[in-house]
């Protein structure tokens, strides 16, 4: 029982940053912008979450800071890929690489200038125990004993689901990912929606990164996102470009992660290097079995240039 509880709670903890970034990916790709820059934006979010949390003394303001910085990164991505019609994969790759450089440099400055050479642990989130519910046996621990951002994430998944499927703007948003020309002939400002989607994706990646640095480690380490942005990207596909699908896919990858961590702890004699590959292997297998093109927005990744008139 204790084993199962451990696996489940640790799966949820791994799933949350994947879900947050994946939700951003859904918004971006549903508007037709293929967003491979989840990784880089998460890394920026992780660092600036720590930075602003240290500067303000509040992890909440830390998250807010991370959101703002990543919104800016999203805006850069938007200008390059929407306005300048640059290749979206190249732009995303550039952002991923630049983020490694920026966060590495800033971390060094942070440690030398503020921490006098030592790694600083910053104010971070504590688990909220929901009264009564959290004291339930098993369920209390598995469902009601997480850091606050966990609940925020689930709320965001619900809100984004409502936005995409229950509002007029959501219908418009999805139509742009399918065929921007149709939306354009109906008087919809295609690029405005695309800007909004990419910036919102940045904001969600910011929260995701800040969750990783402020809910688990309480500090920033170089390259700490280590491919989770790409797993989130895979979760978008595996989850069929829908918010709840991403949530489910993220929990699946989270489980794989939890199991491999547990196996490391059990000292099975298998090299931890190999064990660490498990979630990534699961990603590959999952993508093979994902309902392929079925739900993929038809215009995902294609710039929209208005016809010469």
Dist. CA 28–CA 24, nearest whole Å: 6
Please answer whether residues 193 and 31 qualify as being in contact, where contact means their C-beta atoms are separated by less than 8 angstroms: yes
Q: Which is nearer to other proteins, 177 or 279 (CB)?
A: 177
Q: How far is the CB of 202 from other proteins (least distance, A)?
A: 23
2, 116, 137, 168: which one binds other proteins (CB under 8 A) = 168
Please give the C-alpha separations between residue 217 and each of 119, 120, 129, 223, 264, in angstroms, as whole numbers. Answer: 12, 11, 20, 13, 19
* 167 binds other proteins, rule: CB under 8 A: yes
* 298 binds other proteins, rule: CB under 8 A: yes
Dist. CA 304–CA 191, nearest whole Å: 8
Rg value, the chain, Cα: 20
* 172 binds other proteins, rule: CB under 8 A: yes
* 185 binds other proteins, rule: CB under 8 A: yes
* 159 binds other proteins, rule: CB under 8 A: no
* 181 binds other proteins, rule: CB under 8 A: yes
Tally the C-alpha atoms within 13 A of residue 204's C-alpha that lie toward its C-beta.
Answer: 33
∠115-229-270 over CA atoms, to 5°?
85
Please answer whether residues 145 and 9 qualify as being in contact, where contact means their C-beta atoms are separated by less than 8 angstroms: yes
113, 186, 267, 289: which one binds other proteins (CB under 8 A) = 186
Dist. CA 239–CA 272, nearest whole Å: 28
Query: Contact region for other proteins (CB under 8 A) — 10-18, 162-170, 201-209, 281-289?
Result: 162-170
Q: Which is nearer to other proteins, 139 or 298 (CB)?
A: 298
* 87 binds other proteins, rule: CB under 8 A: no
* 305 binds other proteins, rule: CB under 8 A: no
Q: Which is nearer to other proteins, 176 or 214 (CB)?
A: 176
Instruction: DSSP letter for 82, please.
Output: I
Q: How far is the CB of 172 from other proteins (least distance, A)?
A: 6
- Binding residues (CB under 8 A) for other proteins: these are 165-172, 174-175, 178-179, 181-188, 298, 307, 309
């Amino acid at each position: 029982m204790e084993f199962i509880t451990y696996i489940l709670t640790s799966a949820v903890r791994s799933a949350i940053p994947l879900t947050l970034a994946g939700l951003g990916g859904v918004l971006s790709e549903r508007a037709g912008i293929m967003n491979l820059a989840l990784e880089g934006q998460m890394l920026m979010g992780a660092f600036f979450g720590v930075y602003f949390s240290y500067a303000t003394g509040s992890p909440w303001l830390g998250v807010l800071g991370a959101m703002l910085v990543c919104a800016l990164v999203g805006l850069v991505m938007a200008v390059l890929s929407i306005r300048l019609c640059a290749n979206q994969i190249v732009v995303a790759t550039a952002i991923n690489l630049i983020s490694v450089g920026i966060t590495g440099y800033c971390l060094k400055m942070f440690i030398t200038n503020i921490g006098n050479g030592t790694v600083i642990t910053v104010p971070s989130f504590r688990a909220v125990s929901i009264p009564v519910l959290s004291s339930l046996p098993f369920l209390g621990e598995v469902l009601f004993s997480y850091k606050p951002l966990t609940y925020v994430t689930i709320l965001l998944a619900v809100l984004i689901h409502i936005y995409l499927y229950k509002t007029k703007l959501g219908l418009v948003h999805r139509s742009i990912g399918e065929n921007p020309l149709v939306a354009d002939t109906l008087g919809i400002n295609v690029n405005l929606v695309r800007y909004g989607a990419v910036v919102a994706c940045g904001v969600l990646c910011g929260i995701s990164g800040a969750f990783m640095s402020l809910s688990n480690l309480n500090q920033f380490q170089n390259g700490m996102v280590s491919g989770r942005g790409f797993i989130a990207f895979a979760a978008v596909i595996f989850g069929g470009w829908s918010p709840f699908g991403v949530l489910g896919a993220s929990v699946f990858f989270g489980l794989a992660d939890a199991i491999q961590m547990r196996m490391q702890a059990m000292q099975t004699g298998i090299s931890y290097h190999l064990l660490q590959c498990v979630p990534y292997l699961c990603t590959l297998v999952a993508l093979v079995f994902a309902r392929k093109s079925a739900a993929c927005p038809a215009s995902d990744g294609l710039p929209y240039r208005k016809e010469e008139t």
